[in-house]
Amino acid sequence: MYKIVLITGATSGIGLACARKFAENGDRLILTGRNEKRLDDIKKELNKKGTEVVTLVFDVRNREDVTEKINSLPDEWKDIDVLVNNAGLALGLEPEYEGSFDEWETMIDTNIKGLLTMTRLIVPHMVERSSGHVINVGSVAGDAAYAGGNVYCATKAAVKALTDGLRIDVAHTGVRVTNLKPGLVETNFSNVRFRGDNERAANVYNGIKPLTGDDIADVAVYAANAPAHVQIAEVLILATHQASGSVIFRK
């Protein structure tokens, strides 16, 4: 039986990989993001493979727009089985005392408040049905701070706390809650962090074979399809030569 899966930040990286993997699993997809053309292209790609897709164009930071778009879903798409809170980003590696107020707000509004908005809009319907699954994409950065990570690490620590708190809140229901904590994943994440400096972004992955978006998506699909009595609460996923957020062996 197919599931209806909503994925935020689905136009690239882990979000796009999740879209393709859940499509391969035979699920129906609601894909969200800020880039309408990218969403349309991905929809066409997956439609050709037989996957039903609805796209919603919004920035998770805009609560009013998000609410309007979620409420606009056709009735047959409203019973969302899996919510993948993937939208998130890091900006800069400056010391905390030199950080940008605007970049801090962007990270906090996206990584924390955006996740909360989606959770608040979707999870009540899951609780009513006593069925559903929330998969939050956290990070190894949420376990311990690393140099220059300060605010980004704090947002991912918040994701862990919010995920754990939600799991407690829905323990009396059949709703499951998962925190995926990737380490070094080669996506456009570093390009965004370094504000389009591709050379600096590429250096992040020098000397190590990093994870891919597909690696994380594989775990998400596995968690979503575990038996109903099995809750994959938290998974830390690292490259073989990465031991923690700050310990990486490079050849």
Minimum mean pLDDT range among 72-81, 182-191, 223-232: 182-191
Amino acid identity at 51: T
Report whether pLDDT(134) > 90: yes
Q: What is the pLDDT of residues 139-183, one digit of tens each?
A: 999 999 999 999 999 999 999 999 999 999 999 999 999 999 999
Beta strand ranges found along the chain (DSSP E):
4-7, 28-33, 53-57, 82-85, 132-137, 175-182, 234-237
Q: What is the pLDDT of residues 69-105, one digit of tens each?
A: 999 999 999 999 999 999 999 999 999 999 999 999 9
**Whose CA is closest to 91, among 80, 102, 82, 81?**
102
* pLDDT, mean over the chain: 97
**pLDDT at residue number 1:** 82
Report whether pLDDT(31) > 90: yes
Q: Do 225 and 18 contact (CB within 8 A), yes or no?
A: no
Task: Kindly state the greatest CA–CA separation across the chain.
Answer: 53
Report whether pLDDT(121) > 90: yes
Residues paired with residue 130 on neighbouring β-strands, in sequence order: none
Residues paired with residue 142 on neighbouring β-strands, in sequence order: none
Report whether pLDDT(198) > 90: no
Measured CA to CA, the distance from residue 139 to residue 154 in angstroms comes to: 11
Q: Quick one: tokens of 56?
A: 């919603």
Q: Is 146 a catalytic residue?
A: no
**pLDDT at residue number 125:** 98
**pLDDT at residue number 201:** 85
**pLDDT at residue number 230:** 98
**pLDDT at residue number 191:** 86
Average pLDDT (122-130) is 98
The residue annotated as part of the active site, out of 2, 146, 152, 205, is: 152
What are the C-alpha distances in Å from 151 to residues 68, 100, 119, 165, 184?
Answer: 30, 10, 22, 21, 18
pLDDT band at 189 (very low <50, low <70, confident <90, very high): confident
Q: What would the 3-class secondary structure string for 224-242 be?
A: HCCCCCCCCCEEEECCCCE
